[in-house]
Amino acid sequence: MATPPKWWAVEATRERVLRHKTFISDMLQQDLRKVLDHQDKIHEQLAKYLQLRNVIERLQEAKHSELYMQLTLAEALKFIDRKSSLLTELSNSLTKDSMNIKAHIHMLLEGLRELQGLQNFPEKPHH
């Protein structure tokens, strides 16, 4: 017959579970929220640049010579391409960051499930 867990082992496990849950909710989930919010802002900027690109391409097709701009239409398109590329790279980096945070959350939750599922705690060796 298995011996019941010692009260100190049960209490220590409860404390560890609580610390891990607190870390997940206070740190990892907030970090994930920040990364996803940042990524949303990047996507908004990227959408604006792509919309601007469409306008410039239509202007090029219409060949409006009476417009005064600080950049030529070709220069503006080149700028938009560079900016869009940088924003896409940043978005990809944020996606990787969010995936890492999600993996940490998943790993900790799995550890908590295992920890809470233990019924027989090992005895501490007596020295």
Domain parsing of the chain, residue ranges:
12-116
Residue pLDDT, tens place only, 69-98: 778 888 989 999 999 999 999 999 999 999
pTM of the model: 0.66
Helix (H, G, I), strand (E, B) or coil at 121: coil
How many angstroms separate the Cα of 4 from the Cα of each of 8, 119, 120, 122?
A: 12, 8, 7, 10
